[in-house]
Chains A and B, each alone.
Chain A
Amino acid sequence: MSEITNTATEPLLETRDLAAGYNGVPAIRGLTLSVGPGEVVALLGPNGAGKTTSLLAMVGLVPPLAGEVRVLGEPLGKRKPHQVARAGVLLVPDDRGIFYGLTVREHLRLAGKKNDAQREVEVLDKFPVLRNLDSRRAGLMSGGEQQMLAIAKALLARPKVLIIDEMSLGLAPKIVQEMLPAIRELAKEDGIGVVLVEQHIELALGIADRGVILNHGQVVLTGAASDLLRDRHLVEAAYFGAEEFAADDEDKTLAG
């Protein structure tokens, strides 16, 4: 497994002091994070923390109220979400973003670029189950199969940034345990920047490089994944007793 290091230190995706929300009321404030090539960032936090809003803002589905989002060094600007997707920033949303009436083959056809048969082979090698389900309608597949399809079609498009929202929702832990490492592998191979939103703290930090914990719409804790795993109590505090952290305007980072 070779790790691709980007010679330029430009992050693939970064947010600077991003605030976003609905109807003029911000759901997240002051979000600053970045994802580099081959990096896996876990975005964590309790319900209502603003994780999904952050993801939607990153792909342009929710317009920023303050701050900015930069993709591949360029600000997002007025780009429409579908243009963001074409630029290589792909979001797999919490509803999996698949089409129940379409077959697997049709999904892959929509996702793949022209004349890129090689890529399809690569991706299906990672998710061989899908090969047998070629003409099955997505609506008739199990949750795990659907999630695999969602990820596979995203990878098929050779994304530069892959953002996954709540992949483990509704899936048996065993399946999640198999899929996450596969994603990490592909990310490292291709130099994709990955942002994972997860409820399963252990699983997520297990394959991530860094972790960012949101609460009440703000970042309350960041650090290397290994450190966060080691200092569990801080993570718990970030989740539950977060008022003391929220009152503090500085991000808490862990040294070491």
Chain B
Amino acid sequence: MQTYVQFAILGLGLGAIYIGLGTGLLLVHRATGIINFAQGAMAMWGAYVFAQLRLDGTLTFPIGSIDLGRRPTVLVSALIGLLMAVLLGLVAHYLVFRPVRHAPVLAQVVVSVALMITIQALVVLRFGPNNIKVDSILPEGTWSLLGVEVSSREILMALIMAALSGVVWAYMRFTRAGVATRAASENERAAVLMGFSPDRLAAVAQVIASVLGTIAVTLGSALTGLNPENYTLLVVPALAVLLVARMESIGIVVVAAIVLGAFQSIIGLLVTKPWWPVWAQSGFDQIVPFAVVMVILFVLGRRLPSRGSLQTIRLPDVAIPKLKLVPTLILLAGGVAALALTTGSYRFGITTSIIVMLLALSYVVLTGYLGQISLAQGAFAGAAGFTLSKVTTGWGIPFPLSIILCGLVAAALGMLVALPAFRIRGAQLAIVTIAAALAIERFVFNNYSLTPPEGNPIAAATLFGINLSVREGRDLSRLSFSLMVLVVAAILVFLFIRLASGDTGRTFLAVRANERAAASSGINVRMTKLIGFGISAFIAGIAGCLIGLSRGQLSAESFTVFTGLQILAVAYLGGITSVGGAVVAGILGPLGIIYVLLRGVFDLGAYYPLISGLGLIITAILNPVGIAGATREQVAWVRRKLSRTPPAEPRSDATTATPTPKEPSRV
């Protein structure tokens, strides 16, 4: 019993961090309606600055650094760290979040995910990828609590963060700005009409959230050291806490955060007990936030507040694809030529680009056409890939059947994730999918019982006696393998185009545009979502199988949450609404041809996540139709100029890109 109390108290360290992040998330959501997936990443920057100052007196900026000579005191370093947090909050507000305040939820989710990737990449570049030690601001010690010796540091952390949360609560209740923020979150136009600038209120909220999170991480990271991956992802349990608090109540955030931290700590103790099942040893503590998220959203889904804001930008329009024979043949011929004329890493890069294109295509189906936000495509791909390992080595199922089977496994998983999508949408669905992806990564892919330590080898494919393995001897990337990938991709794209230009495609678009209207015109919305998730996951699954075949070996690191997010980033960057966009995404994507070029010729591989993150932020803000869409617009513009027809009257059909914003009720 004593040990459980001790462990519960130890869990308060994590709980304190959740309090900081959760309160910040709540405040930013109240002020802007945006769920800031980058909250954890933003919070760790200031803590890193603090840690580095205490390590060797270097003040690190995103570009450049200043050597202060000697190490500043703890107090001075902490203050500098907080100053950086304030600046970061301001920059994030003005450059990243303000431009998308009236954009559709997808753009907002994508932008905050992009910010998360960018900050994390920047931290890795500026501070290194490894753990760094963090000075403890609070003294170590023990107190006697109910006769048990417990660590005092964690209790102090939790008390401090709870007090700070109380300050935020008081801000919202008692100050004019705080009340105005609450008002604006309910009815933004009315607040504007009363003379309040929601933008300024949002900036204040963003700065407070950044500072609060930074304090929490600076205190809490003394227990574990700072590490870019871990702290970025702490936003996921913080989101669970946010949902438990129904995005409204700071008091519940504090309580839920403490309970979650203590609970995760006790789970950590329980998994070491001999009676705990071996298959449930790794990553079980990540299941908890995910389960919490699912339960809350199921039970409370409809009743969670969504913000009434003035939406003036819409999702990019979808151009119904048509299968044109000549361009298709040219494209295919181009692909074959590119593969035949390159060798080694470059051919491997092109092959990987084709596979990434399929992953991006799965996003096009799900997000571009169906309008659902899912951050879990990487998990679907991984599920198929890992199944392929079992299926080819254990059961010896031959080539095309094996990947189809595994694609179906992924589809089944996708349809499972579709279930919460029945009741929730937008940013909340994004939260569920990222929590699911994290839980799957930690609990399933990393599970010792499912993935043996020798790794997950994947037997090479053969078809009618043709050897389709990826490598042989010194040939790192065999042509037959790459051609096989091209053929599979072409088949999938063909099927997609048939689907998209048919009834199913139009049904998807109807659901995307307005679920209620779609339902009232006789569309079975639930079935449509189920099909959409299933098809999207199937495509992702096939891509996952191809990834496995191209490597010969898979591990949990192949399909992390971050990989999935990077794919989303390039998918959006390329253009989330078309096959062309998926192709561009493939070219730009991780381990694709551009990546190989950067790594090989310029030795800039480490900059890839940073550049793609920044690129995504810019695209999400400036140009929701992505690169492919922009190209299409340019081509159309050129064509118009060339044909010298008078400019057409503005029409509101689907082929033009002019959005029609919602008009206020007219009298």
Contact = CB atoms under 8 A, between A and B. Distances in A.
A and B touch in the complex (CB under 8 A): yes
Interface of A: 22-25, 27, 47-53, 56, 59, 61, 80-82, 85-86, 90-102, 106, 109-111, 153, 157, 165-166, 197, 199
Contact of A80 (B197, B660, B666): B197
A95 B187 CA distance: 10
B650 A97 contact: no
Contact of B197 (A56, A82, A93): A82
A110 B179 contact: yes
B192 A85 contact: yes
B246 to A, nearest CB: 13
A109 B664 CA distance: 28
Contacts of B180: 110
A94 B650 contact: no
A197 B190 contact: no
Contacts of B189: 61, 93, 97
B658 interface: yes
A35 to B, nearest CB: 17
B176 interface: yes
A94 B190 contact: no
B195 interface: yes
A106 B177 CA distance: 11
Contact of A102 (B182, B195, B658): B182
B661 interface: yes
A56 B661 contact: no
Contacts of A92: 193
B182 A101 contact: yes
A110 B666 contact: no
A48 B190 CA distance: 22
Given A23-B650, A48-B666, A102-B179, A59 B661 contact: no
A81 B193 contact: yes
B183 A110 contact: yes
B186 A101 contact: yes
B311 to A, nearest CB: 14
A52 B190 contact: no
B144 interface: no
Interface string B208-244: 0000000000000000000000000000000000000
B195 A82 contact: yes
B177 to A, nearest CB: 10
Contacts, number: 90
Contacts of B667: 47-49, 51-52, 94, 165-166, 197, 199
Given A82-B197, A93-B193, A165-B667, A23 B183 contact: no
Contacts of A153: 194
Contacts of B182: 99, 101-102
Contacts of B190: 93, 95-99
Given A106-B179, A110-B176, A110-B180, A22 B192 contact: no
Contact of B665 (A23, A52, A96, A102): A52
A52 B664 contact: yes
Contacts of A199: 667
Interface in B150-189: 176, 179-180, 182-183, 186-187, 189
B203 to A, nearest CB: 14
Given A23-B658, A25-B650, A102-B183, 7 more contacts: A47-B667, A52-B667, A59-B193, A82-B197, A96-B190, A99-B190, A109-B179
B187 A97 contact: yes
B322 to A, nearest CB: 28
B661 A22 contact: yes
A100 B305 CA distance: 13
B503 interface: no
A166 to B, nearest CB: 6
A47 to B, nearest CB: 6
Nearest to A139: B186
Best-surrounded residue of B179, B195, B658 (most CB of chain A within 10 A): B195
B195 A157 contact: yes
26 contacts: A48-B667, A49-B667, A59-B193, A61-B189, A80-B197, A82-B198, A85-B193, A90-B194, A93-B193, A94-B667, A95-B190, A97-B187, A97-B193, A98-B190, A99-B182, A99-B190, A99-B191, A102-B179, A102-B182, A102-B183, A102-B186, A109-B179, A110-B179, A110-B183, A110-B196, A153-B194
